[in-house]
């Protein structure tokens, strides 16, 4: 019975991997309205999975002398791709909102605003997976270790360094074929007429007696002797 299940699983694993990547890619394209960014987002998640699986092979097969269970590659692939794509979507969606004023500055603001949340979520999920290391079933131990390592790699390496660096290198082509909205004009402080009238009423009485342009030539009393009058006029 177990042999038949393993045979069916071996036949379906390729289809599972292809369909998982395709569905996640289409979801990213639909949400981001772009094609280029989802490509390297999926690639970064797959590379993170392969790295974690390689670490698992080194630890369990070469160091501990235990062969990986046949269900581990497919199980860990689905979990790591789903979680990695979810966190990447949060990062790149915020980057799209911050990019109209400049991609480099948008990356800095995005990593600064979402880095703490994404890092905390990744560390908590990885700690939960590492809790399975104390299980008595080897399949759970291997799955918890590989998923935990993959989440840490994805949190501290892929989303912190790799994805922001690729986004800066690709530039505006990240959002192809769509275009970014024009940057919104920055709001300026507008003084109300009431404040202007108050400031006028509080002005010194001798200011009204000065001829036009005399206020710009007057040197404040608090300026130290020997100061340049032109500099003082520019500052006033």
Give, for all 236 residues of the chain, the pLDDT tens digit. Answer: 667 777 777 778 888 888 989 998 999 899 888 899 999 999 999 999 999 999 999 999 999 888 888 889 888 998 999 888 888 888 888 888 887 777 888 888 888 887 788 889 889 999 999 999 998 888 999 999 999 999 999 889 888 888 889 988 988 888 887 776 666 655 554 455 555 445 444 444 444 455 555 444 454 444 445 554 444 444 44
* 20: Cα separation from own chain's centroid: 23
83: nearest Cα among 133, 146, 33, 35: 146
Residue 46 to residues 3, 94, 100, 131, 178, Cα–Cα distance (Å): 28, 22, 29, 24, 25
Topology (CATH level 3) of domain 12-174: Multidrug efflux transporter AcrB transmembrane fold (1.20.1640)
Sign of CA dihedral 227, 229, 235, 236: positive
pTM beyond 0.75: no
């Amino acid at each position: 019975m177990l042999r038949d299940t393993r045979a069916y699983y071996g036949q379906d694993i390729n289809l599972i991997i292809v369909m998982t990547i395709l569905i996640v890619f289409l979801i990213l394209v639909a949400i981001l309205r772009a094609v280029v960014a989802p490509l390297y987002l999926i690639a970064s998640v797959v590379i993170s999975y392969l790295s974690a699986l390689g670490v698992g092979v080194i630890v369990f097969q070469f160091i501990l002398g235990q062969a990986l269970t046949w269900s581990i590659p497919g199980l860990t692939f689905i979990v790591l791709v789903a979680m990695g794509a979810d966190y990447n979507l949060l990062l790149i969606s915020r980057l799209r909102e911050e990019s109209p004023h400049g991609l480099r500055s948008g990356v800095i603001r995005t990593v600064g605003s979402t880095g703490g949340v994404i890092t905390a979520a990744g560390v908590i999920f990885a700690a939960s997976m590492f809790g399975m290391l104390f299980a008595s079933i080897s399949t759970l131990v291997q799955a918890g270790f590989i998923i935990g390592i993959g989440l840490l790699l994805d949190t501290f390496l892929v989303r912190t360094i790799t994805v922001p660096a690729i986004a800066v290198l690709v530039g505006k082509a990240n959002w192809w074929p769509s275009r970014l909205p024009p940057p919104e004009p920055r709001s300026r402080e507008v003084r109300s007429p009431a404040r202007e009238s108050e400031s006028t009423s509080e002005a010194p009485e001798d200011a009204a007696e000065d001829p036009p342009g005399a206020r710009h030539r007057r040197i404040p009393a608090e300026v130290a002797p020997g100061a340049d009058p032109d500099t003082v006029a520019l500052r006033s």
